[in-house]
Amino acid sequence: MKKEIGSFVVGDSTKCTGCKACEVACFTVHNRKSNHVGNTVGTVTVPVTPRLFLTRFDQGCMPIQCKHCEDAPCLNACSKGAISRIDHQVIVDAEKCIGCKDCMQACPFGAIALLPYAKDGRLVAQPMSEEPKVFASKCDLCAGIEGGPACVRVCPHQALRLVDPEAEREEKNIRAAESLLLTKDWR
Partner 1 sequence: MNYFVKGNPDLCIGCRTCMIGCVVAHEGKHIFEVDPDSYSFNPKLHMVKTARLSVPVQCKHCENPACMAVCPAGAISQKDHCIVIDTDKCMGCKSCMDACPFGAINMTVQTGKFQADGSEKKVANKCDLCYGLPGGPACVRVCPTEALTLVTEEKLGEAMEHKRMEAARNTYRETHPQE
Q: How far is the CB of 66 from partner 1 (least distance, A)?
A: 9
Q: Which stretch binds partner 1 (CB under 8 A): 43-51, 55-63, 112-120, 175-183?
A: 175-183
**Does residue 14 belong to the site contacting partner 1 (CB under 8 A)?**
no
Give the list of residues 6+ apart from residue 158 with CB closer than 8 angstroms, or none: 15
State which residue, 15 or 85, has the beta carbon closest to partner 1: 85
Site for partner 1 in 68-107 (CB under 8 A): 68-73, 75-78, 81, 83-85
Handedness of CA 55, 61, 66, 67 (dihedral sign): negative
Q: How far is the CB of 97 from partner 1 (least distance, A)?
A: 15
Q: Which stretch binds partner 1 (CB under 8 A): 25-33, 92-100, 135-143, 163-171?
A: 163-171
Report whether 118 contacts 128 (CB < 8 A).
no
State which residue, 29 or 160, has the beta carbon closest to partner 1: 160
**Does residue 38 belong to the site contacting partner 1 (CB under 8 A)?**
no
Report whether 135 contacts 113 (CB < 8 A).
no
Among 87, 95, 131, 166, binds partner 1 (CB under 8 A): 166
Q: Nearest 5°: CA angle at 10, between 107 and 167?
A: 110
Distance CA 52, CA 159 (A): 14
Distance CA 110, CA 22 (A): 17
Distance CA 23, CA 30 (A): 11
State which residue, 51 or 133, has the beta carbon closest to partner 1: 51
Q: Which stretch binds partner 1 (CB under 8 A): 17-25, 36-44, 116-124, 178-186?
A: 178-186
